[in-house]
Amino acid sequence: MIKTYQYESDARVAILIPCYNEEVTIGDVVSEFRNILPSADIYVYDNNSSDNTSAIAKDAGAIVRTELRQGKGHVIRRMFADIDADFYVLVDGDATYEAAAVRRMLTLASEQNLDMVTGQRVTDRQAAYRSGHVLGNKLFTGLVRCLFGPGSKDIFSGYRIFSKRFVKSFPALSTGFEIETEFTVHALTLAMPISEVETIYVERPEGSASKLNTYQDGLRILIAIFNLLRRERPLMFFSTLGIIFMIAGIALGTPIVMEFIRTGFVPRMPTAILATGLETLAALAFCCGQIVENVALARLEAKRLNYLSYPAPQYNEKRLPCKREA
């Protein structure tokens, strides 16, 4: 006789699945997470799908809701606002992520009181993680780590665990796939405890199509990173602009100054005016950086206090005997 077990926890776990035309995979995704975490609430938010995503998700046992504004960022903003839980599991509905990893991720989040655990994608399948996407992920991840500090090694992963205090303090300003970059920057800005777990990543099943547009979404993510830098690290942003203006002004103005010292004349007046203007812009950029930095610090303090108003995450899993099998 083999004794089997089921797992229960006092913590409320919500599994959040944003979906757009995922009828091929959504039923399997909901069923897998239902089997692994039977006590969790599974929410599928349909983002204007033109197929049977909603009906299949409902038949599989999910709570189905709709977000009419198109874009993953809009869906996640709605999810975070509507749903109350102790832990939030965010996963894509394309059946490419390892559902079994959710228990390891939740355990790690609880044992170390983490606010975000990222499922770091690991695969040896070319079709699952194309070389161009791997390169882009490394470049953007390196840029974020350079600008905001060391964090996740896979900032574009769609598989994450969040604590309640992360979710309820998250501004969710992005509208599309760049929301995943905002997750990492939000955690790094508030100095939250975060980690990651390696998870198996596979290709989409036949008949399921990706919604990513490599170049368009890449450009949007790049713009989002610099907007986040301007908003969260304004002194760095404006100081960088100031240094660029200052160097350009010095390069243009030095020959004119040297000529003036030697002859007493200013031979190229338009260039002299341009150099002066660039140095003025440099000074203004440094001043703006100082002013906006103080505003950003006040916003950071408010976000930190809101974050601290929620308790630290706890997930105490119990293993209970279920039945005996021959």
Report pLDDT digits (tens) over 52-87: 999 999 999 999 999 999 989 999 999 999 999 999
Q: Give pLDDT, residue 250.
A: 94
Residues for the chain: how many in total?
A: 326
In sequence order, the β-bridge partners of residue 87 are 13, 163
Distance in angstroms between the alpha carbons of the first and the last residue of the chain: 4
Report pLDDT digits (tens) over 168-195: 999 888 888 788 889 999 999 999 999 9
**Looking at this protein, which amino acid is placed at residue 204?**
R
What residues have CB less than 8 Å from 68, skipping those under 6 apart? 48
Report pLDDT digits (tens) over 159-168: 999 999 999 9
Cα separation, 224 vs 133, whole angstroms: 18
Whether 3 shows a pLDDT value over 80: the answer reads no
SS (H, E, C) the chain: CEEEEEEEECCCEEEEEEECCCCCCHHHHHHHHHHHCCCCEEEEEECCCCCCHHHHHHHCCCEEEECCCCCHHHHHHHHHHHCCCCEEEECCCCCCECCCHHHHHHHHHHHCCCCEEEEEEECCCCCCCCHHHHHHHHHHHHHHHHHHCCCCCCCCCCCEEEEHHHHHHCCCCCCCCCHHHHHHHHHHHCCCCEEEEEEEECCCCCCCCCCCCHHHHHHHHHHHHHHHHHHHCHHHHHHHHHHHHHHHHHHHHHHHHHHHHHHCCCCCHHHHHHHHHHHHHHHHHHHHHHHHHHHHHHHHHHHHHHHHCCCCCCCCEEEEEEEEEC
The topology under which CATH files domain 2-232 is Spore Coat Polysaccharide Biosynthesis Protein SpsA; Chain A (3.90.550)
Whether 148 shows a pLDDT value over 90: the answer reads no
Q: What is the rounded average pLDDT for all residues in the chain? A: 85
Query: Where do the domains of the chain lie?
Result: 2-232, 234-308
Q: How far is CA 91 from the centre of its chain?
A: 12
Q: Give pLDDT, residue 259.
A: 86
Whether 20 shows a pLDDT value over 50: the answer reads yes
CA distances to 23, 92, 223, 244, 295 from 229, in Å: 38, 27, 10, 17, 14
Q: What angle do CA 201, 87, 233 make, to 5 degrees?
A: 80
- Say whether pTM exceeds 0.95: no
Report pLDDT digits (tens) over 91-137: 998 889 999 999 999 999 988 889 999 999 887 665 555 666 677 77
Looking up tokens 């390169």 gives 135
**Looking at this protein, which amino acid is placed at residue 127?**
A
Q: Give pLDDT, residue 2.
A: 40
Whether 313 shows a pLDDT value over 60: the answer reads yes
Q: Give pLDDT, residue 126.
A: 58
Cα separation, 95 vs 156, whole angstroms: 16
Q: Give pLDDT, residue 131.
A: 61
Among candidates 290, 260, 287, which has minimal Cα distance to 272?
Answer: 260
| Mean pLDDT, range 16-40, rounded to an integer | 93
Q: Which tokens sit at 320?
A: 């209970």
CB atoms within 10 A of CB 91: 26
CA distances to 54, 67, 308 from 64, in Å: 6, 10, 31
Report pLDDT digits (tens) over 40-53: 999 999 999 998 99
